[in-house]
Structure 1
Amino acid sequence: MPREPRARRTAPLAGTVVATGVVAAGAAVVGAPDWFGLAGHRPFVWTVPFRVPVGLGLAGLAVLAGLTGLRWRRTLPAATALALAAAGSLGATLARGVSAGELPAARAGDVTVLAANVYLARADRGEVARLALEARADVVSLPEATREYADDVATRLEAATGTGVQVFFGDDRDGRFGTALLVADRLGEYRTTGELAGGLKAVVTAAPVSGTGPVLAAAHTAAPVPELLDPWAEEVRAVADWCARTPGALLAGDLNATLDHPGLHLRGSCVDAGEQTGTGARGTWPAGHPALLGATIDHALADGNRWRAVGSQVRTLPGSDHRALLSRWRPVD
């Protein structure tokens, strides 16, 4: 029997190699755009927060390609590439931790922080106060609040604890809502510093006048919607830079970014409570979907030279489209 010409035999192999390479490259970029410096660019800026759904989608494609490969083996290399991309995407997420978390018993010197986006002041005020009281929060960050809302939560806390609460408030640029920073008097007297002001959303910073409390910030940055991508990137980077350059800083709030976005690549000594304590990939938004499938865009950050996170917890907040984040910080010995 005459032999098949070499050119005919190698053509299908070459096509398979090229197709597999294209699939592998595409799957890698889709599964981990941050590895290629693309997480801040369209469309990946909107997909990278949802690495679990993306990873599951790649895994599903791998299964389909594998099943096809049972009859047509040329798809098996592509199935393998898709499976590896899915494993990489899911593995990177799971490594940060997806548990709801817990808070260990507080010690003297610990500082507990509650960050709760109250969704245009619609979140249940009593539940915000209850979460703060249950955790014995020293600091409360309330993005999307009104001044009246923040004062009401502070009054509830004062009535329950007998301890005074200082309220600092910054308006968003539209003037309807803003970000509140509540500080328990047991940390000492505070004053606002005016840093990081002037953005589309509000960031409130405060420093101790007396006592030994940390430098604090309650933050809300612009959202990465198409028309705001530039200010979003600037505001997220400014918040991360403030954390990195401010000795003793503690910051919490809705940063509208994950640790995979370039603006929130932590620099210097800045650390993330969720990443340190196993809730770093627990979705905080949108609250109406399972946390495992959501985006981790609410954060608690600190100067790691002064503070280490000893626990964090992601909690349901009735009336809000975000979950609340509790974090407990302990002075570094």
Structure 2
Amino acid sequence: MGQDDRPRSRSAAGRSTTTAPSGRLERTSVLGWIAVVVIATAAVLSIAPGTLGWSTEKGIAQAVALRTWLLWGFAGIAAVSLLAAVGIGSRGRRPVRTTAVAVVCVLAAGSHLLVLDARGLDAGAPVLASDERDGDITVLTANVRGERAGEEAVSAVVDRVISSGADVVALPEGQPVVGEVVAQLTARGESFQVFPAFGAGPNRGTALLVAESLGAYREVDGPVGGVRVEPVDGDGPPIAAVHPTSLPPDPTDDLGAWRSEGSQVQELFQTMTGGIVAGDMNATLDHEQLRETGTYVDAGSAVGIGGYGTFPSSLPGVLGTAIDHVLVDRGRFAVRAGAVVDVPGTDHRAVVVRVAPR
């Protein structure tokens, strides 16, 4: 069709104008629906990445660690989309795609909220030594920042060990300060067996303290960056303090070490019957290494604190990431109480849980 053959319409002034090509509108419509599909796919992946087996893949692993931020992000997109839909509708147009985006994001935000609420978004009531019953075991895990830990952090950890009556203390990055922690505990009348694990650097070494009241323990082979002990007489529970390498924040970085060391922690849940595993696991409950845990359960989630962020401590707990955990074998223990507590001088919050034998 030549230029003179194109359809024309008359303007109010009687001038001839060319009608806008319908193809452009069709392309815009297709691109709009592609955007809807992309957002919907991202929403599904963010809600259940572990179910799809993608929680340890580049980019997705980093996003999975930020479930609270995903909640607020989808909620924000939903709000903006709803406002845009109202504006489009007020001009006499049908905001089909914008409404679809709003609905998808509302459902995604709601799903994230349900997951976090099921785990618990509260820091919990203080776990006190005075509330401990015969047979109870109180576990505390606190990342103390390695060689960056100062006197404030050491004193804070000691105070929380004593106030909670902790029997098991996991200190990821505790290698440089474990001696001072033990010295202060001893000076205050507490007796612990000390099991330090020396990592590749001062911030990788993990220390495990086990109260003398639990009986004699001995160290056995454990995961990289952690320490594992078993009772000498066979009566007490096996215990592991762990600290696999951190998840690289850059989604283009290699995740091999993070996956490998996380798998070593996961193996404990399959091979260490009736035990306790505590530490900075550098993974959330949505990552693969903490999804397949056999008979082990996240003690924090059992008492409503599992969704409260432990890192970084500079952010409110409802905006942080829960990467510090205590898991126990549900066949041997029932979780009685738990709390996420601040530890001045560190960039992590501590997790304290109390379990009772079944």
* Pair in the same fold by TM > 0.5: yes
> Which amino acid in 2 is paired with 1:290?
P
What's 1:42 paired with? 58
Cα distance in 2 for residues equivalent to 1:70 and 1:282: 35
- After superposition, residues 1-333 of structure 1 pair within 5 angstroms as 15=30, 19-72=35-88, 73-74=95-96, 75-102=98-125, 103=127, 105-121=131-147, 122-123=149-150, 124-146=153-175, 149-161=177-189, 163-174=190-201, 178-196=205-223, 199=224, 202-210=225-233, 212-225=235-248, 227=253, 229-332=255-358
Percent identity (aligned)? 35
| Cα drift, residue 28 of structure 1 | 2.4
Q: 1:143 to 1:19 in 2, by over 3 A?
A: closer
Cα distance in 1 for residues equivalent to 2:154 and 2:353: 20
Cα distance in 1 for residues equivalent to 2:254 and 2:138: 32
User: Alignment partner of 1:46: what SS?
Assistant: helix
Q: How many residues align?
A: 319
Q: Which moved more, 1:59-68 or 1:34-43?
A: 34-43
Cα distance in 2 for residues equivalent to 1:315 and 1:240: 26
Cα distance in 1 for residues equivalent to 2:138 and 2:168: 6
The answer (yes or no) to whether the contact 1:45–1:261 under 8 Å persists in 2 is yes
The answer (yes or no) to whether the contact 2:343–2:350 under 8 Å persists in 1 is yes
Q: 1:112 to 1:251 in 2, by over 3 A?
A: same
Q: 1:194 to 1:34 in 2, by over 3 A?
A: closer
| Cα drift, residue 110 of structure 1 | 0.8
User: Alignment partner of 2:188: what SS?
Assistant: helix
| Cα drift, residue 30 of structure 1 | 3.8
Structure 1 unaligned residues grouped into runs of 5+: 1-6
TM-score of the two chains, using structure 2 as the length reference? 0.83
> Which amino acid in 2 is paired with 1:133?
I
Cα distance in 2 for residues equivalent to 1:70 and 1:125: 56
> Which amino acid in 2 is paired with 1:144?
E
Cα distance in 1 for residues equivalent to 2:353 and 2:105: 36
Which of these two proteins has the greater Rg computed from alpha carbons? 2
The answer (yes or no) to whether the contact 2:198–2:205 under 8 Å persists in 1 is yes
User: Alignment partner of 2:140: what SS?
Assistant: strand
| Cα drift, residue 321 of structure 1 | 0.7
**Cα RMSD, aligned residues only:** 2.3
The answer (yes or no) to whether the contact 2:218–2:229 under 8 Å persists in 1 is yes
Report Cα offsets for 1:90-121 as digits up to 9, x if no partner: 22122110110133722111110110100024
Q: 1:113 to 1:49 in 2, by over 3 A?
A: same
